[in-house]
């Protein structure tokens, strides 16, 4: 694994946001949702996420997630993803969301 220094880590804008809306994304090649997240003063942002295996739309609403906000927008089918939703793969290769243990203000930076 390549080592990075503190300055490299600080460049990654890992921020907390609350999921406000979840839509189906039938145009995606793999099963995914379109997710709208409130990042506080950083605004409302959309992303797509292949998390349909472990999460229903209704259970995602109100959940706090960790997103990377300083990647360039990425076009997925007819949709522009504005941030990267973070998570880990389980033993079957499905995504399990990274999240916070207790509520924190939207937009808070992971330090």
**Residue closest to 13 by CA, chosen among 69, 54, 77:** 69
pLDDT in tens, 3-25: 999 999 999 999 999 999 999 99
**Residue closest to 97 by CA, chosen among 108, 109, 86, 106:** 86
Q: What's the number of CA atoms in the CB half-sphere (13 Å) around residue 10? A: 3
Report pLDDT for 92: 97
Q: Please report the domains of the chain, with CATH numbers, ordered by start residue.
A: 6-97 (2.40.50.140)
Report pLDDT for 106: 98
For the chain, give the percent of residues with pLDDT over 70.
Answer: 100
pTM here is: 0.94
Report pLDDT for 14: 98
Q: Which residues pair with 75 in a beta bridge?
A: 80
């Amino acid at each position: 694994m390549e080592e990075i220094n503190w300055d490299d880590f600080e460049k990654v804008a890992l921020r907390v946001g609350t999921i406000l809306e979840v839509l189906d994304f039938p145009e995606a090649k793999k099963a995914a949702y379109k997710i709208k997240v409130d990042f506080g003063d950083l605004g409302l942002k959309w992303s797509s996420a292949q998390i349909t295996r472990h999460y229903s739309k209704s259970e995602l609403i109100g959940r706090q997630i960790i997103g990377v906000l300083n990647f360039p927008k990425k076009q997925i089918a007819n949709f522009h993803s504005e941030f990267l939703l973070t998570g880990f793969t389980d033993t079957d290769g499905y995504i399990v969301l990274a999240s916070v243990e207790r509520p924190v203000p939207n937009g808070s930076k992971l330090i």
